[in-house]
Amino acid sequence: MRRRGFTLIELLVVIAIIAVLIALLLPAVQSAREAARRAQCVNNLKQIGLAAHNYESTNGVFPPGAITKTLAEQNAPGAGWGHWGTQAISWRVLVLPYIEQNNAFNNINFTQWAQNGAGATIQTVWNMSFSSFLCPSDGQNENGFRAVNVATGQYPMFTPPGAIKVPITNYNMSFGDNYAMLPLGTANPWETPLPLANPTLPRIGFNGFWGTTGVVNYGGETGGMRGFSDYRTMGVARIASVTDGTSNTAFAGEALPAQDGNNEFWTASSAGSGMTIPLNWYTGDASKCDYGDQSNLHNRCNYASRGFKSLHPGGANFLFADGSVKFIKNSINLLTYCAIGSRAGGEVVSADSY
Protein backbone atom coordinates (compact mmCIF):
# COMPACT_ATOMS: atom_id res chain seq x y z
CA MET A 1 0.00 0.00 0.00
CA ARG A 2 1.42 3.38 -1.02
CA ARG A 3 2.03 5.86 1.85
CA ARG A 4 0.17 9.12 1.57
CA GLY A 5 2.06 12.40 1.81
CA PHE A 6 2.37 15.89 0.43
CA THR A 7 3.16 16.25 -3.19
CA LEU A 8 5.83 18.65 -4.34
CA ILE A 9 3.20 21.05 -5.65
CA GLU A 10 1.35 21.01 -2.32
CA LEU A 11 4.57 21.75 -0.45
CA LEU A 12 5.35 24.65 -2.76
CA VAL A 13 1.85 26.05 -2.27
CA VAL A 14 2.20 25.86 1.53
CA ILE A 15 5.62 27.53 1.40
CA ALA A 16 4.24 30.25 -0.85
CA ILE A 17 1.33 30.90 1.53
CA ILE A 18 3.71 31.13 4.50
CA ALA A 19 5.96 33.52 2.57
CA VAL A 20 2.99 35.74 1.72
CA LEU A 21 1.86 35.78 5.36
CA ILE A 22 5.35 36.72 6.52
CA ALA A 23 5.54 39.46 3.88
CA LEU A 24 2.21 40.83 5.12
CA LEU A 25 2.98 40.58 8.83
CA LEU A 26 6.60 41.74 8.88
CA PRO A 27 5.88 45.40 8.03
CA ALA A 28 3.17 45.45 10.70
CA VAL A 29 5.59 44.03 13.27
CA GLN A 30 8.29 46.51 12.27
CA SER A 31 5.78 49.36 12.41
CA ALA A 32 4.67 48.31 15.89
CA ARG A 33 8.27 48.14 17.09
CA GLU A 34 9.03 51.58 15.66
CA ALA A 35 5.88 52.96 17.30
CA ALA A 36 7.15 51.64 20.63
CA ARG A 37 10.59 53.16 20.07
CA ARG A 38 9.07 56.48 19.07
CA ALA A 39 6.90 56.46 22.20
CA GLN A 40 10.03 55.87 24.31
CA CYS A 41 11.74 58.75 22.53
CA VAL A 42 8.77 60.99 23.34
CA ASN A 43 8.97 59.90 26.97
CA ASN A 44 12.70 60.72 27.06
CA LEU A 45 12.07 64.24 25.78
CA LYS A 46 9.22 64.77 28.23
CA GLN A 47 11.53 63.75 31.05
CA ILE A 48 14.15 66.22 29.83
CA GLY A 49 11.47 68.90 29.54
CA LEU A 50 10.32 68.29 33.09
CA ALA A 51 13.92 68.49 34.27
CA ALA A 52 14.44 71.78 32.42
CA HIS A 53 11.32 73.28 34.00
CA ASN A 54 12.34 72.08 37.46
CA TYR A 55 15.70 73.73 36.86
CA GLU A 56 13.89 76.92 35.83
CA SER A 57 11.70 76.80 38.95
CA THR A 58 14.80 76.48 41.13
CA ASN A 59 17.07 78.99 39.39
CA GLY A 60 14.68 81.36 37.66
CA VAL A 61 16.22 80.61 34.24
CA PHE A 62 16.32 77.72 31.82
CA PRO A 63 19.58 75.77 31.80
CA PRO A 64 22.15 77.64 29.69
CA GLY A 65 23.57 75.98 26.62
CA ALA A 66 26.92 75.56 28.31
CA ILE A 67 28.79 76.25 31.52
CA THR A 68 31.81 78.48 31.14
CA LYS A 69 31.67 80.13 34.56
CA THR A 70 30.75 79.16 38.08
CA LEU A 71 27.18 77.94 38.46
CA ALA A 72 26.19 81.15 40.28
CA GLU A 73 27.72 83.34 37.56
CA GLN A 74 26.13 81.22 34.84
CA ASN A 75 22.60 81.77 36.14
CA ALA A 76 23.07 85.52 36.67
CA PRO A 77 21.34 88.09 34.41
CA GLY A 78 23.33 88.69 31.24
CA ALA A 79 25.38 85.54 31.67
CA GLY A 80 26.26 83.60 28.56
CA TRP A 81 28.81 81.14 27.37
CA GLY A 82 31.57 83.63 28.01
CA HIS A 83 34.77 82.61 26.26
CA TRP A 84 36.50 79.34 25.57
CA GLY A 85 39.14 78.37 28.07
CA THR A 86 36.85 77.78 31.03
CA GLN A 87 34.73 74.71 31.76
CA ALA A 88 32.84 74.37 28.45
CA ILE A 89 30.47 71.75 29.88
CA SER A 90 27.08 71.26 28.23
CA TRP A 91 23.61 72.06 29.58
CA ARG A 92 22.83 68.38 30.05
CA VAL A 93 25.05 68.30 33.13
CA LEU A 94 22.85 70.89 34.84
CA VAL A 95 19.66 68.84 34.51
CA LEU A 96 21.18 65.61 35.86
CA PRO A 97 19.90 66.23 39.42
CA TYR A 98 16.38 66.54 38.02
CA ILE A 99 16.46 63.13 36.33
CA GLU A 100 17.64 61.28 39.45
CA GLN A 101 21.33 61.46 38.60
CA ASN A 102 22.50 63.42 41.65
CA ASN A 103 25.49 61.17 42.24
CA ALA A 104 26.86 61.77 38.76
CA PHE A 105 26.27 65.53 39.08
CA ASN A 106 27.94 65.73 42.48
CA ASN A 107 31.08 64.07 41.12
CA ILE A 108 31.58 66.52 38.25
CA ASN A 109 34.57 68.80 38.69
CA PHE A 110 33.20 72.18 37.65
CA THR A 111 36.60 73.82 38.03
CA GLN A 112 38.07 71.90 35.09
CA TRP A 113 37.49 72.44 31.41
CA ALA A 114 35.73 69.56 29.68
CA GLN A 115 38.26 69.66 26.87
CA ASN A 116 41.45 70.75 28.56
CA GLY A 117 41.51 69.69 32.18
CA ALA A 118 44.24 68.68 34.56
CA GLY A 119 43.60 64.97 34.15
CA ALA A 120 40.97 62.27 34.37
CA THR A 121 40.17 62.77 38.03
CA ILE A 122 36.61 61.61 37.51
CA GLN A 123 36.95 59.27 34.55
CA THR A 124 34.23 56.91 35.82
CA VAL A 125 31.63 59.67 35.70
CA TRP A 126 32.83 61.00 32.36
CA ASN A 127 32.47 57.56 30.83
CA MET A 128 28.82 57.25 31.85
CA SER A 129 26.00 57.14 29.31
CA PHE A 130 22.40 58.05 30.16
CA SER A 131 19.51 56.19 28.54
CA SER A 132 17.21 59.21 28.96
CA PHE A 133 19.34 61.03 26.39
CA LEU A 134 19.35 58.24 23.79
CA CYS A 135 16.73 57.59 21.13
CA PRO A 136 16.01 53.84 20.85
CA SER A 137 15.42 54.19 17.10
CA ASP A 138 19.04 55.15 16.53
CA GLY A 139 20.79 51.83 16.02
CA GLN A 140 24.07 53.59 15.24
CA ASN A 141 24.73 55.00 18.69
CA GLU A 142 26.71 51.97 19.93
CA ASN A 143 24.70 51.75 23.14
CA GLY A 144 25.37 55.38 23.94
CA PHE A 145 29.05 55.59 23.04
CA ARG A 146 31.17 56.52 20.07
CA ALA A 147 34.81 55.57 19.65
CA VAL A 148 37.64 58.07 20.03
CA ASN A 149 37.53 61.72 20.89
CA VAL A 150 39.92 63.93 22.81
CA ALA A 151 37.22 65.90 24.58
CA THR A 152 36.30 63.53 27.35
CA GLY A 153 37.40 62.64 30.85
CA GLN A 154 38.98 66.07 31.31
CA TYR A 155 42.20 64.96 29.69
CA PRO A 156 44.53 67.61 28.28
CA MET A 157 43.36 68.60 24.80
CA PHE A 158 46.33 67.33 22.81
CA THR A 159 47.39 64.44 25.01
CA PRO A 160 44.40 62.08 25.01
CA PRO A 161 44.77 58.62 26.53
CA GLY A 162 44.28 56.93 23.16
CA ALA A 163 41.15 55.40 21.72
CA ILE A 164 38.39 55.76 24.30
CA LYS A 165 34.63 55.51 24.13
CA VAL A 166 32.83 58.86 24.30
CA PRO A 167 29.31 59.17 25.79
CA ILE A 168 26.97 60.62 23.17
CA THR A 169 23.42 61.94 23.03
CA ASN A 170 20.49 62.05 20.62
CA TYR A 171 18.99 65.25 22.06
CA ASN A 172 20.30 68.76 21.46
CA MET A 173 19.04 72.13 22.65
CA SER A 174 17.86 74.52 19.94
CA PHE A 175 20.17 77.27 18.69
CA GLY A 176 17.12 78.76 17.03
CA ASP A 177 16.48 80.21 13.61
CA ASN A 178 19.68 82.19 13.15
CA TYR A 179 22.27 79.46 13.44
CA ALA A 180 25.27 81.38 12.12
CA MET A 181 28.95 80.62 12.41
CA LEU A 182 30.76 82.59 9.70
CA PRO A 183 29.97 85.66 7.58
CA LEU A 184 28.87 85.14 3.99
CA GLY A 185 31.64 84.38 1.56
CA THR A 186 34.04 82.87 4.11
CA ALA A 187 35.26 79.30 4.30
CA ASN A 188 32.90 76.34 4.55
CA PRO A 189 29.73 78.06 3.34
CA TRP A 190 26.58 75.97 3.43
CA GLU A 191 23.28 77.02 1.97
CA THR A 192 20.01 75.32 1.17
CA PRO A 193 19.12 74.67 -2.47
CA LEU A 194 17.63 77.75 -4.08
CA PRO A 195 14.01 76.46 -4.29
CA LEU A 196 13.83 76.28 -0.49
CA ALA A 197 14.26 80.02 -0.01
CA ASN A 198 13.12 83.28 -1.49
CA PRO A 199 15.31 83.66 -4.61
CA THR A 200 15.45 87.43 -4.17
CA LEU A 201 17.09 87.13 -0.76
CA PRO A 202 20.21 85.39 0.59
CA ARG A 203 19.54 81.73 1.08
CA ILE A 204 18.91 80.03 4.40
CA GLY A 205 21.57 77.81 5.86
CA PHE A 206 25.06 77.86 7.27
CA ASN A 207 25.15 81.64 7.60
CA GLY A 208 21.80 81.89 9.31
CA PHE A 209 18.34 83.05 8.40
CA TRP A 210 18.41 85.02 5.15
CA GLY A 211 21.94 86.28 5.44
CA THR A 212 22.40 86.54 9.21
CA THR A 213 26.13 86.58 9.95
CA GLY A 214 28.15 85.21 12.81
CA VAL A 215 27.51 88.17 15.11
CA VAL A 216 23.92 89.28 15.48
CA ASN A 217 22.05 91.73 17.66
CA TYR A 218 19.07 90.22 19.39
CA GLY A 219 17.19 91.88 22.22
CA GLY A 220 20.04 94.28 22.89
CA GLU A 221 22.54 91.46 23.33
CA THR A 222 25.06 90.68 20.61
CA GLY A 223 26.35 87.34 19.50
CA GLY A 224 23.31 85.37 20.59
CA MET A 225 21.20 82.61 19.16
CA ARG A 226 17.46 83.14 18.93
CA GLY A 227 16.67 79.82 20.58
CA PHE A 228 17.63 78.46 24.00
CA SER A 229 21.19 77.27 23.59
CA ASP A 230 22.79 80.63 24.33
CA TYR A 231 25.93 81.44 22.43
CA ARG A 232 28.85 83.45 23.77
CA THR A 233 27.55 86.64 25.38
CA MET A 234 23.81 86.14 25.09
CA GLY A 235 22.01 85.88 28.41
CA VAL A 236 20.19 82.83 29.68
CA ALA A 237 16.55 82.36 28.71
CA ARG A 238 13.64 82.88 31.06
CA ILE A 239 10.00 81.96 30.57
CA ALA A 240 9.19 85.66 30.28
CA SER A 241 11.66 85.96 27.40
CA VAL A 242 9.75 83.39 25.34
CA THR A 243 7.35 85.98 23.97
CA ASP A 244 6.36 83.82 21.00
CA GLY A 245 4.74 81.45 23.49
CA THR A 246 6.24 78.38 25.11
CA SER A 247 3.87 76.10 23.20
CA ASN A 248 5.06 77.60 19.90
CA THR A 249 8.82 77.45 20.49
CA ALA A 250 11.10 74.44 20.19
CA PHE A 251 13.40 73.93 23.16
CA ALA A 252 15.23 70.79 22.03
CA GLY A 253 15.07 68.09 19.39
CA GLU A 254 16.65 64.96 18.03
CA ALA A 255 20.14 64.58 16.55
CA LEU A 256 22.17 61.73 15.07
CA PRO A 257 25.69 61.36 16.50
CA ALA A 258 26.74 59.17 13.56
CA GLN A 259 26.29 62.16 11.25
CA ASP A 260 27.84 64.73 13.55
CA GLY A 261 31.34 64.67 14.97
CA ASN A 262 30.15 66.84 17.87
CA ASN A 263 27.47 64.99 19.80
CA GLU A 264 29.35 64.27 23.02
CA PHE A 265 27.11 64.29 26.07
CA TRP A 266 29.32 66.44 28.28
CA THR A 267 30.90 69.11 26.11
CA ALA A 268 29.71 72.61 25.24
CA SER A 269 30.43 72.32 21.54
CA SER A 270 27.79 69.59 21.44
CA ALA A 271 25.13 71.68 23.15
CA GLY A 272 22.75 72.45 20.33
CA SER A 273 21.50 72.23 16.77
CA GLY A 274 20.28 74.95 14.42
CA MET A 275 16.87 75.24 12.79
CA THR A 276 18.06 77.05 9.68
CA ILE A 277 19.20 73.66 8.41
CA PRO A 278 16.24 71.71 6.98
CA LEU A 279 14.94 68.89 9.15
CA ASN A 280 16.69 65.56 8.47
CA TRP A 281 19.16 67.16 6.07
CA TYR A 282 21.57 64.29 5.42
CA THR A 283 25.24 65.24 5.53
CA GLY A 284 26.95 61.86 5.56
CA ASP A 285 28.43 59.87 8.39
CA ALA A 286 30.91 61.64 10.62
CA SER A 287 33.03 58.49 10.75
CA LYS A 288 33.70 58.86 7.02
CA CYS A 289 35.07 62.38 7.33
CA ASP A 290 38.76 63.10 7.27
CA TYR A 291 39.47 64.42 10.74
CA GLY A 292 43.22 64.45 10.34
CA ASP A 293 45.41 63.61 13.31
CA GLN A 294 44.24 63.05 16.86
CA SER A 295 44.64 66.71 17.78
CA ASN A 296 41.54 67.75 15.81
CA LEU A 297 39.28 64.73 16.21
CA HIS A 298 36.83 67.06 17.92
CA ASN A 299 36.11 68.97 14.70
CA ARG A 300 32.84 68.28 12.94
CA CYS A 301 32.51 67.31 9.27
CA ASN A 302 30.95 70.66 8.48
CA TYR A 303 28.45 72.93 10.14
CA ALA A 304 25.61 71.66 7.97
CA SER A 305 25.62 68.51 10.10
CA ARG A 306 24.39 70.52 13.08
CA GLY A 307 20.73 70.33 12.10
CA PHE A 308 18.05 68.29 13.85
CA LYS A 309 17.52 64.81 12.46
CA SER A 310 16.31 61.37 13.46
CA LEU A 311 15.78 57.83 12.20
CA HIS A 312 12.03 57.97 12.76
CA PRO A 313 10.24 57.66 9.41
CA GLY A 314 9.02 61.02 8.13
CA GLY A 315 10.33 63.44 10.74
CA ALA A 316 11.63 63.92 14.28
CA ASN A 317 10.40 64.53 17.82
CA PHE A 318 10.82 67.99 19.35
CA LEU A 319 10.51 69.16 22.94
CA PHE A 320 8.74 72.52 23.14
CA ALA A 321 9.31 75.11 25.83
CA ASP A 322 6.03 74.29 27.58
CA GLY A 323 7.20 70.71 28.14
CA SER A 324 5.10 69.16 25.38
CA VAL A 325 6.60 66.90 22.71
CA LYS A 326 5.51 67.16 19.08
CA PHE A 327 6.45 65.20 15.98
CA ILE A 328 7.50 67.53 13.17
CA LYS A 329 7.38 66.17 9.64
CA ASN A 330 10.17 66.49 7.11
CA SER A 331 7.73 68.27 4.82
CA ILE A 332 7.39 71.28 7.12
CA ASN A 333 7.75 74.62 5.36
CA LEU A 334 11.23 75.94 6.06
CA LEU A 335 9.99 79.37 7.10
CA THR A 336 7.57 77.77 9.56
CA TYR A 337 10.41 75.61 10.85
CA CYS A 338 12.57 78.69 11.40
CA ALA A 339 9.69 80.47 13.16
CA ILE A 340 9.37 77.58 15.61
CA GLY A 341 13.06 78.03 16.36
CA SER A 342 12.85 81.65 17.52
CA ARG A 343 11.56 82.36 21.00
CA ALA A 344 10.88 86.06 20.50
CA GLY A 345 10.74 86.64 16.78
CA GLY A 346 7.11 87.73 16.65
CA GLU A 347 6.12 85.20 13.98
CA VAL A 348 2.59 83.83 13.89
CA VAL A 349 2.58 80.03 13.64
CA SER A 350 -0.59 77.95 13.68
CA ALA A 351 -0.58 74.45 15.13
CA ASP A 352 -1.86 72.94 11.88
CA SER A 353 1.14 74.21 9.91
CA TYR A 354 3.48 71.48 11.12
- Whether residue 117 is predicted with pLDDT greater than 70 in this model: the reply is no
pLDDT of residue 151: 41
In terms of pLDDT, which residue wins out, 230 or 115?
230
Mean residue pLDDT across the chain = 69
Spatial distance between the Cα atoms of 14 and 10, rounded to a whole number of angstroms: 6
> Residue-wise over 310-333: b if at least 16 C-beta within 10 A, else e?
bbbeebbbbbbbebebbebeeebe
* Nearest Cα residue to 265 out of 119, 114, 120: 114
Q: What is the pLDDT of residues 136-167, one digit of tens each?
A: 988 777 777 775 544 433 343 444 445 556 77
Mean pLDDT along residues 63-67: 75
Give the residue extent of every domain in the chain.
Answer: 29-353
- CA distances, 85 to each of 18, 109, 111, 235, 353 (Å): 64, 15, 11, 19, 42
Task: Identify the residue with better confidence: 328 or 306.
Answer: 328
Residue 21 pLDDT more than 80?
Answer: yes
Residue 211 pLDDT > 50: no
Q: How would you classify the pairing of strands 272-274 and 171-176?
A: parallel
Backbone angles phi, psi at 123, to 5 degrees: -60, -35
Among 83-87, 233-237, 281-285, 328-332, which range has the highest average pLDDT? 328-332
Confidence of residue 207 (pLDDT cuts 50, 70, 90): very low
Q: What backbone phi and psi angles, to 5 degrees, belong to 135? A: -85, 125
Q: What is the pLDDT of residue 44?
A: 95
